[in-house]
Amino acid sequence: MELTDSYGRKINYLRLSVTDRCNMRCLYCMPADGVSLVRHGDILSYEELLLIAEAAVDNGIEKIRITGGEPLVRKGILPFLGKLAAIPGLRQLVLTTNALNLSEMAADLRAAGVQRLNISLDSLRPETFASITRGADLHKVWQGIAAAEKAGFRVKLNMVVMRGVNDDEILDFVALTMDRGVTVRFIEYMPAIRETGWQSRVLPGSEILARVAARHDFVEQPRDGLAGPASIYRIDGAEGSFGIITPVTGHFCAECNRIRVTSSGKVRSCLFSDDSLDLRPLLARGDRDGVAAALRAVVTCKPRNHTLMESDTGYTPFAMAAIGG
């Protein structure tokens, strides 16, 4: 079976959040005073999450990304990942992490069947990193990255570029791709918390590319059918690559292949849409066919594109930590 929305887009990618808890407090992800956490009893059980994943794969989902919060803070995550990896028809199981717990878990994640890791890393400077994350230890993150590479992962590093905060590190991040097989992805800043004046922090993807082009020659790389929204480039002679994700200045909505489920059981067809459907009544009955039908219904209602830049509100109606990165 294949999931196709009303605009002809093939939907084959599910972002599945397993927790809204996180051991960082990144300034673009949650307000300084934190967010209202979902009660533990309202977080989906691993059995419910597995049912959603199985129903999704039955209906054409080929790639699942596990997100949070920070997924590695949830107890029992490794056996759950092993069960996901064993779902017949699932082609890719990937996970996004901040890497604080990764040095202890990288080898076990690989053994469980996780194929790739995306690691959030917004600065190479300890002081800037601590400021962005409100106190996290950059050294600990690098230990996690080293453990991931030792375990055999090809790592992707995600940098949210913020004008006046870390945009002077763009070329430093690009330099990481020269002699190691990492992919660095530069992500435009977007208002993932309720924040006025957020536009002043946005560095357009076109400007990021121009800064790299002033120093390096590069060529665009082909994308596969399960790829996310990044445009990928490789500098001549580089071992790795870099990418640009432009949620603000360059809609990639026409190529969107994703839906997402929150840790409390809400399925959404678009990150920037208020519309969601609650799967919990179906999950309480163990209704796998009902969950499959709900996923199909959400895909059918997927909007043509988001209206982030058309809004006068100055912010999105959610905190990223509550949705799943």
pLDDT tens for each residue of 5-31: 888 899 999 999 999 999 999 988 877
For the ranges 73-77, 92-96, 105-109, 269-273, the lowest mean pLDDT is seen at: 269-273
Q: Could you report how far apart the first and last alpha carbons of the chain are, in Å?
A: 27
Tell me if 34 sits within 8 A of 248, measured CB to CB.
no
**What pLDDT score was predicted for residue 312?**
45
Query: In percent, how much of the chain has pLDDT > 90?
Result: 73
**What pLDDT score was predicted for residue 194?**
60
Residue labelled with tokens 């533990």:
40
Alpha helices (H) in 124-217, listed in sequence order: 126-133, 138-150, 170-175, 205-213
| Average pLDDT score, the chain | 90
Evaluate the CA torsion angle 192, 126, 72, 31 in order and state its sign: negative
Predicted confidence (pLDDT) at residue 218 exceeds the cutoff of 50: yes
Predicted confidence (pLDDT) at residue 39 exceeds the cutoff of 60: yes
3-323: what CATH class?
Answer: alpha beta
**What pLDDT score was predicted for residue 306?**
57
Tell me if 270 sits within 8 A of 318, measured CB to CB.
no
**What pLDDT score was predicted for residue 271?**
72
Predicted confidence (pLDDT) at residue 325 exceeds the cutoff of 60: no
Please, which pLDDT band fits residue 76 given cuts at 50, 70 and 90?
very high
Which one, of 199, 175, 205, 165, lies nearest residue 187 by Cα? 205
Peptide bond into 82 cis (omega under 30): no
Helix count and strand count (H, E) for the chain = 10, 14
Report domain extents, the chain: 3-323
* Euclidean distance between CA atoms 220 and 218, whole angstroms: 7
* Euclidean distance between CA atoms 79 and 70, whole angstroms: 17
Q: Dihedral angle at the C-alpha atoms of 126, 165, 188, 222, nearest 10 degrees?
A: -50
* Span 280-313, pLDDT tens digits: 999 999 999 999 999 999 999 887 765 555 554 4
